[in-house]
Amino acid sequence: MTPLRSFAFFCLAASTAAGMTLPTGDRVTGKPFATRSEVYAQNGMAATSQPLATQVALDVLKDGGSAMDAAIAANALLGLVEPTGCGIGGDLFAIVWDPETEKLHGYNGSGRSPMSLSMEKLQEAVGPDATIIPPYGPLPVSVPGAVDGWTALHDRFGKMPLAEVLAPAIGYAKDGAPISELIAYYWDLGSRTRRAYPGFAETFTPSGRAPKVGDIFKNPGLASTYERIAEHGRDGFYEGEVAQTIADYMAANGGFLTVEDLSAHRGEWVDPVSVNYRGYDVWELPPNGQGIAALQMLQVLERHDVARMRFGSEEYIHLFTEAKKLAFADRARFYADPDFAAAPVEHLLSDEYAVERSALIQERAMRSVDAGNAALEEGDTIYLCTADKNGMMVSLIQSNYRGMGSGMTPPGLGFCLQDRGQLFDLTPGRANSYEPGKRPFHTIIPAFITKDGKPHMAFGLMGGATQPQGHAQIVVNIVDFGMNVQEAGDAPRMVHTGSSQPTGEVMTTGGFLHLETGFDWDALRGLGRRGHKLSQATGIFGGYQAIRWDAERKVYVGASESRKDGQAAGY
């Protein structure tokens, strides 16, 4: 969300306290929170965080490509025009509805830590007083999983040759593309903290500054890397010249990622997990991601009559915030690479456990929360979804973490390496403690909804620890409050920060509750009386895309919210 649009509750409090009435909206549709109409189309649809990427995805669909081809084409272009949230130096996750098998397939494309970096070496490098891994530089760099994810997903669900899928992004990288408003804002911020790292300035600020709104940005190095991938598939990235360039660069700059680390990487097909929320099956991927936190929250919320509480009420906001604290306590303790520490997912999502945890919610805000017996707030990402004429629907999320990643930018390749390794715990003996060859706890999560075993909606909401909170709010907005897919994303959002974290931090003071403009002043005062600490924030409320399948009318319904530069479009 832009700074101008993302006023927190203080502006609202000042106006309503002075006797002004709350806005009721002037849309004739009766959807006061919607900033625009839903998009309807019969043959295919794409919703991304940047309009050029949406148009590229539509072009691929019109040329006979599958929803997966369109998703990869859009993701590749976003790596050029939105490097503030994604790129092939990062990781990828996806949930795919396959109309042939009539089931959902999950893909975990997260990379592992360098094999040559032991816990002892890491602790020595960060220093004796450090409690977290630094966000920038060589230490948080893990193996990039995105390209392996592209090729694995394309091999299974693609129809067009990979070279044709990547051709639009290659063309734009060579000829240039104009940079849009919100992305330009974050590009400038990201460049300030990373321009000192070798190769970053040459790639992302070639004119000596970040691109401004409307500037044409070219990235010939990225075009060249994409061409190698188009010709050689995953080997064009994880073997040969690109892999060697990455390894040599890291070795020369205090890093540990090697050719062997890159060559050994493979993503993983996983089974999505779900809970039923009032007749709708909501699906997420299991850890090492945080998706099941959204499901744990929904399990608690279903024990209460949320619809009666109404959107934005003190009672609902309090309940939601406490449910979040409970889920995030478990997230801090249990969510990690299942190859090293398997979370008790079935138990955490069970009805019995939800009843037990729900009973802990009282009238006052909880200041500390223990996990059940069984810095993460920041992060920018891209989320996109696509759908084709054959019924395939793709929910895909991809990220560098912390926006533009580690700052480490190998020469001539056109991308920055991710800093996802910052999300390891430096204390030995915990589920998410650092180990060589381990996948860190992950924040990026795609989501999907089915109803009666049929596809209903691909959706996601980017933004660090905001994501599971946002996923749960979208579901509640649609199911309990009757919003359409556009209004559900545009409605004012709440984000709680300060929960216990998988990196070792422990909540002791209740954290902070951030509310966007649009919540009632009486509700805010009531929340304060309950012990919630209300705090102003800008830009932490995420960015959402969705495509719903209207089975009765046989049409797709798309949405892209106004907090991003994005667009939903179909044909």
Residue-by-residue pLDDT tens, the chain, 571 positions: 333 333 333 444 333 333 333 445 567 777 889 889 999 999 999 999 999 999 999 999 999 999 999 999 999 999 999 999 999 999 999 999 999 999 999 999 999 999 999 999 999 999 988 889 999 999 999 999 999 999 999 999 999 999 999 999 999 999 999 999 999 999 999 999 999 999 999 999 999 999 999 999 999 999 999 999 999 999 999 999 999 999 999 999 999 999 999 999 999 999 999 999 999 999 999 999 999 999 999 999 999 999 999 999 999 999 999 999 999 999 999 999 999 999 999 999 999 999 999 999 999 999 988 876 544 444 578 999 999 999 999 999 999 998 899 999 999 999 999 999 999 999 999 999 999 999 999 999 999 999 999 999 999 998 888 899 999 999 999 999 999 999 999 999 999 999 988 888 889 889 999 999 889 899 999 999 999 999 888 888 989 999 999 999 999 999 998 899 999 999 9
- Radius of gyration of the chain from Cα atoms? 22
For residue 124 the two structure tokens come to: 């020595």
Rounded Cα distance, 467 and 462, in Å: 6
Rounded Cα distance, 491 and 563, in Å: 11
Query: Given this model, what pLDDT does residue 538 score?
Result: 80
Closest CA to 513 of 374, 310, 322: 322
Write down the number of H helices and E strands in the chain.
20, 18
Q: Domains of the chain (ranges plus CATH)?
A: 9-34+270-378+448-542 (1.10.246.130), 41-92+102-266+379-423 (no CATH)
**Contact by Cβ (8 Å): 457, 479:** no
Closest CA to 442 of 286, 298, 330: 286
For residue 208 the two structure tokens come to: 């000596």
35 classed as catalytic: no
Rounded Cα distance, 221 and 200, in Å: 12
Query: Given this model, what pLDDT does residue 92 score?
Result: 97
Closest CA to 546 of 451, 437, 428, 455: 455
Single-letter amino acid, residue 66: S
CA distances to 238, 261, 311, 411 from 245, in Å: 11, 13, 52, 7
Closest CA to 411 of 215, 238, 197, 168: 197
> 422: which DSSP letter?
G
Please tell me whether residue 451 adopts helix, strand or coil conformation.
strand
For residue 253 the two structure tokens come to: 């700059």
Closest CA to 219 of 378, 405, 393, 77: 77
Query: Given this model, what pLDDT does residue 300 score?
Result: 97
Q: Which of 151, 225, 381, 450 is catalytic?
A: 381
Single-letter amino acid, residue 440: P
pTM over 0.85: yes
